[in-house]
A and B are shown apart, each in its own frame.
Chain A
Amino acid sequence: MTQAAEVLLPSSPAEAAEAFGDGKGVTVIGGGTIVLPELTYGRLRPKKAILLARAGLAGLTRSGSTVTIGGATPLTELVGLDSPVGPCAANVADGELRGQATLGGNLCAGAGPEAPRGDLQGALLAVGASVRSTGSGGESTLPIDEFLEGRGNRLVLAVSYEEPAAGAFVALDRPHTHEYTALAVSAARLADGSIRLAATGAGGHGRRLPSAEAAAGDPAAAGEAALADVKPHDDALASAWYRQQTLPVLVRRALTMLEEAA
């Protein structure tokens, strides 16, 4: 495996932000579940690496109905949250990996070479989360929709959202826990009654399904409408064709579950 020239272990969020700077040429290691194999196989040779193990960025707090999750919180701590976030986290890998993989790492994961990554992007899009991050220009808080576009050069400090009135998470079955999820849909009915839908594995990073949201009153119609919002791809897990067949089904199921949760 390869070694970075400089390895930093910040012991506070402020130190972590300072070490990260503008993010250029920095490799951030949360749980290491994505980065370590890249180092082992010689595909990543970082000049500077930051280990977040002691940076004080882990932890989940509640204030009223607001949930705030530190960027380096292991996914296992999210498993008990309400749908869609809880079930989405529970569907990632297996218990050992969830004990180590972080929310920030999941959000910032680029597309995998053979499979989509970043399942939590979908659930957090559905609940309308906001992401507090640091990087070039200092700290900022952005709605997750906007954050995801520029996530490559940001260090996630915390994610927060209002617990929805109801939520649903539906995914294609994984043959084994070491498989990534080929396609998943998250749905949430917010406190104001509006419905948000998002998908992961439908091409690129997690994205909203506005055409399906507009037709949310009719789950079957919304399912078909969702196809206009995505450009699915072929990869080792599933073909674009297969994703096009199954996305409407997942959307319909998610919306039906939301209705039943009323």
Chain B
Amino acid sequence: MKLTVNGIEREIESPPLTPLLFVLREELEVTSPKAGCQQGGCGACTVLVDGDPRRSCLTAVAAVAGAEITTAEGIGAPEELAPVQQAFTHHYAAQCGFCTAGMLVAAHAYVEGGGTDDRHAISEALAGHVCRCTGYVKIIDAVAAAARGDSFDLAVTAEGQYTTMQSGGGS
């Protein structure tokens, strides 16, 4: 069967009931979705399936044959970070980074889907994602900033400081 992963069509050899998480990590070596629990309880494995965030550990690969899969590697690159990736960087929304890939794709889908900076709505959207490091506040700050369309200058000045954030228009 075929899957498009981060824009590239791939031929899948794994048997049909193989969880998508395993196909991505082991067969295709796309390692940003993580095996946090492999029972759908933590959100570290979340990827976008045709734009919708889904737990890849719960998804049999044959059920998504032909779909477009997007992971954290695919929503932006270091030279061109997506708004949520910039926001996460600016707001220090990642500490150990293990939950980050899952959080990011869910946040990306939320923002792309017109989500607002309402903190309750963001909490609902990310409700399936567990983080043990940050206490969530900075994650919600980051998603709210991305939803508002804030822009960030991520360049580090000679003094070793970020320049201050400017509020920008919508994206």
Q: State the A residues within 8 Å of B (CB).
A: 1, 3-4, 7, 9, 29, 31-33, 36-37, 39-41, 49, 51, 53, 93-97, 99-100, 176-178
Contact = CB atoms under 8 A, between A and B. Distances in A.
Contact of B19 (A40, A96, A177): A40
B54 A99 contact: yes
B17 A1 contact: yes
Contact of A94 (B22, B52, B127): B127
A51 B63 contact: yes
Given A36-B19, A51-B60, A178 B54 contact: no
Nearest to B35: A40
Given A37-B39, A96-B54, A178 B130 contact: yes
B125 interface: yes
B41 A178 contact: yes
Contact of A37 (B18, B38, B106, B125): B38
Interface in B99-144: 106, 124-125, 127-128, 130
Given A32-B59, A33-B58, A36-B59, A95 B124 contact: yes
Contact of B16 (A36, A51, A100): A51
B148 interface: no
B74 interface: no
A4 B16 CA distance: 9
A7 B62 contact: yes
A40 B57 contact: yes
A176 B132 CA distance: 14
Which secondary structure dominates where chain A touches chain B? loop
Q: Which of B42, B63, B130 has the largest count of A CB atoms less than 10 A from its CB?
A: B63
B62 A95 contact: no
A100 B46 CA distance: 12
A107 B94 CA distance: 38
Contact of B18 (A1, A31, A41, A176): A1
B43 to A, nearest CB: 7
B19 A93 contact: no
Contacts of B97: none
A62 to B, nearest CB: 24
B82 interface: no
B15 interface: yes
Contacts of B63: 29, 32, 51, 53
Contact of B106 (A3, A4, A41, A96): A96
Contacts of A94: 127-128
B53 interface: yes
B90 interface: no
6 contacts: A1-B17, A1-B19, A9-B16, A33-B55, A37-B39, A41-B39
A94 B43 CA distance: 10
Contacts of A40: 19, 38-39, 57
B15 A37 contact: no
